[in-house]
Amino acid sequence: MKVAVVGLGTEGKNAVKSLINYGYKVYASDMQKNMELDCNTAVDIDLGYHDFEKINSADAVVLSPSLWSSKIGEKIRSSKKFLSDILPDHKTVFTIGVTGTNGKTTTCFMIREILENAGFNVLVGGNAGGGFEGYTKLILESSKQKYDVLVVEVCDMTLDFCSYAFDFDLVVVTNMGQDHMDFHNSLENYKDSISKFIKEKTAILNEQDQILAQMGNYPSKTLFFGNGHRDLKLFGQYNLQNAAAAAKVAQFLEIPENNIDEALKNFEGVKGRSATLNISGCNFVVGKTDNSNATSAVLNELKFDVVMVGTPRGKEACRYDILKEVSEANPESVVLFPGLEDTTDIAFERLKKEGYNGDIKIIKDMPTILDFAIECSEKYQNIFIGGNGQNKLIEIQKALQRVSKDDIVIRNKKVLIIGAGNAGRPAAHLLNHLGNEVIISDIKEFEELPKKAKIKIKELMDKGVAVELGSHMNEHAMWADIVFISPSVPKKAAIREFIGECEENYEIDEINTKDIGRMINSLIKIPMIGIAGTDGKTTTTNMVNYTLSDKYDTLLFSSLQNSLVIEGLVDFVVENKMKSKDFAVFELPHGTIRMVDGLEICLGILTNLTPDHMDEFNSYEEYVKRNISIKDLLHKNGILIVNGDDPIISKLAPKFDQEVIYYGFDEPRDIVHDDMIYSHTLDVKYDILAEDIELKGLYGSEFTIKTGRIPTVICENCGKMCCNCDDFRRKYRESCTMRVKLKVPGMCNVENALAVFASDIILDFDLEDIKDKIESFQGVNGRFEKIDTVNEVNIFMDAAHNPEAMERLLEGMNVEGKLIITIDNPDTLTTRDKFKAGHALKKYVDVVIASAKNETTEQIDMDAALEVVEGAKGLETYTTKNIVDAIIKALEIADNGDTIIHIGPGVVNAYKQVKSDIIDGIIAYRKK
């Protein structure tokens, strides 16, 4: 049979999908030319006109409800080819229609719950705008299978349409309010439509509604319901009314009262409708409230500290009235997000016009909405998330439900991982270990993957993970219960769009890095410290770990260990080593930090925020935002340690909600990037200072540490670290002064030592123990590491690879003879400012020898070497093809007492190779 679908609004599109799924041939048309129809099967479609020859030749016609009163609607009705005429089986079933402004969907599902528990075979559906699959689906399903009762949600804009399509034995009207006024034009017109709809039917009406209470004469028989006093799991007085309506239907059908009570008591609610959750002691109410009456019904129940509102379509003027209700509720903060359309700017102006003077935020992407909601749960008691955009509200609701559960670990599901990169692989490994059936796919072929990724992929395959490379299969998304999309997958990737459609049509949950992090966090349950920033991360991470090593058996992840944090933590879980370690310390580079979202650290350190990896970001501000996201990993009682001399950090840290500790020299710096000068303009109150610094060249330094009163992460009541006891009372350390002798040279290491001292004080370590550990620290591989001495010339290597790091390394470094720098190509996969690097070296050194080899890509780029020496113009400079030649040249020009330091990103990315090249250069020189 061929069916014509005339009009492709929400109902029309859903009709096309349903007809195809039931095996019908479809012709579809709409007067709009720019209409999109997503469908897996080819459909004969005309846009911009209706082909009446095709419509007349069809066996049946589905008409958009919006065209019901039009001439084409009259013509189709007169032809008796309307689908409900051709397939009339549904009209033989006892049919209940539920209409009204608010509460329709919940009431429909409550009716179904009661009737199914009483043994009835019930089909529920209808209004596609309300989240069902449309009226056509009900007609088709009723023609295939026998049901005892049909429950139809009837949109108030489709009353005439539904009166023709269905034979209602019973009608429920939940309430009447200000919605769809752009369709009805007035409440009086809406009343007339309802009056016509219920005329000569048996009707159940809300006696609490002023309009409906006066309409008892229209139906052939009228039953009224009130507020009801049922025992419900659901929030709000309005749900008591919905329950009363459902109960009245059940009473009409002579279902025993105890059966009604039991069914309503166990009713869990409807996806996307108001649900209550509790996170960190904060009450969340989440659900669609797309008109003023629905919004006021929720806001009148409780005083909300934060209200988050999904915005309506631009043309739906009446729905902006919800903002009046929000303004009158006067929450402390309002968040606007795109609900049905991105009309947040219109909503912002309307909110201001209504006189709201609180804090207004506009958040447009879903991860940030969720992060902000969870962040608010730490500070506020009641939060409401509603408004327009049912699909987005369902997504928010499901995500928060996962967070609110004590057990957030996913088990025994079918999981699809999109992207086999540094986020996807550990996600696949963890979820496979937890007993899930896992498929991981990547757009790259195996040969295109990096060497490390190839090894890991093979390991996953050996563990039973199915791997699909070279493409993403849509069928896998339809198969999955859970989908994880790696952050590196482009926002507009076709697979993302397809998964979005699947989430609407199937029971699929999408998880992200935060969910993976939370699972890991719940499984390992040991305290953690994270170190982020541009320079000094590796040394600080290893020095922190060294100072902890006497007290704790630590788990360490840093670039020295070549360990990706998230991959290492997953290995730790999978290998069941949780009982063998009692503290974790990890370095968080900018690429890693977004993959550990969801972990909970007791301490965070932010070393500095100088520009680096700029070609990976749209702006310096975006790079900064990525790095400061370490604050989002902190436990609610955790502490953030930051460099007070850094101009970017000093401006941002006062806005952080966490406890913040400042360390530094009280020598504020400026940062120059893209001809912009970022100045240190704030008056920072330093908690930990280094004073009276004596730099001893290659032999370290000596300085005095002075502190104020320092907060710890220890609870005075229970003595635990970052505890969750109901009465956390922070322990404090009194001010102190200490003279420290540091073995590792350079001002940069004085700075690193201050951050480490701060972390140890915050962990409540003994002062003398802290001093002993810091003073005995020998440094780390690749960070001012001594390689050899040749003819009284000392040779070192260091990982400084951007101008700011070079200045920190060399500042105050007094040596006996000449200071000779050999530098590998500053570029990696990131392109850096080579001229600026050479210019920075010019301030501190005597000779610069630039190697042309990019140690990451292994390509020779003489232009890069020339750019470095151009920046160092005025010094004695040389270029070489590689590090071996650079070291030979340095030794050839060196005199007794000179110092050679090799620097560059190769020390990080290719440590063993660079060190080997330096040694090979020394050997080659000695052989001459």
pLDDT for the residue 699 = 84
pLDDT for the residue 39 = 66
Q: CA–CA distance from 854 to each of 453, 866, 896 (Å)?
A: 21, 13, 31
Long-range contacts of 671-674 (CB under 8 A, 24+ apart): 671/609, 671/610, 671/611, 671/646, 671/647, 671/804, 673/611, 673/614, 673/620, 674/620
pLDDT for the residue 184 = 65
Measuring CA to CA, which residue among 306, 916, 836 is closest to residue 612?
836
| Tokens found for residue 425 | 């692989």
Residues 79 and 6 sit within 8 Å (Cβ to Cβ): no
Give the whole-angstrom CA distance, residue 829 versus residue 442.
21
Give φ, ψ of 362 to 5 degrees: -115, 120
Beta strands in 470-534 (DSSP E): 482-485, 509-511, 528-532
pLDDT for the residue 893 = 95
Give the whole-angstrom CA distance, residue 134 versus residue 505.
13
Q: Is 0.75 topped by the overall pTM?
A: no
Q: Beta strand pairing status for 509-511 and 482-485?
A: parallel
Helix (H) or strand (E) holding 69: none
| Tokens found for residue 730 | 């922070």
Residues 33 and 10 sit within 8 Å (Cβ to Cβ): no
| Tokens found for residue 98 | 């539920």
| Tokens found for residue 440 | 């991981």
* Residue pLDDT, tens place only, 761-815: 999 999 999 999 999 998 888 888 899 999 999 999 998 888 888 888 888 777 8
Give the whole-angstrom CA distance, residue 818 versus residue 834.
23
| Tokens found for residue 143 | 């023609």
Give the whole-angstrom CA distance, residue 602 versus residue 527.
6
Going edge to edge, which strands form the sheet with 221-225?
Answer: 122-126, 149-153, 94-99, 170-173, 202-206, 221-225
Angle between helices 135-144 and 10-21 (to 10 degrees): 20
Residues 331 and 295 sit within 8 Å (Cβ to Cβ): no
pLDDT for the residue 73 = 84
927: left (phi over 0), alpha (psi -120 to 50) or beta: alpha
| Tokens found for residue 203 | 């009707």
Give the whole-angstrom CA distance, residue 451 versus residue 771.
42
Coil, strand, or helix at residue 642? strand
Below-50 pLDDT ranges, the chain: none
Measuring CA to CA, which residue among 830, 803, 827 is closest to residue 613?
830
* Residue pLDDT, tens place only, 260-274: 988 888 887 776 566
pLDDT for the residue 214 = 80
887: left (phi over 0), alpha (psi -120 to 50) or beta: alpha
pLDDT for the residue 216 = 66
> Look-up: residue for tokens 């469908």?
39
> Look-up: residue for tokens 């063993």?
912
DSSP letter, residue 873: B
Going edge to edge, which strands form the sheet with 359-362?
Answer: 275-279, 282-286, 382-387, 306-311, 333-338, 359-362
pLDDT for the residue 548 = 94
Which residues have C-beta within 8 Å of that of residue 912, sequence separation ≥ 6? none
Asked whether the CA dihedral 288, 21, 124, 202 is positive or negative, the reply is positive
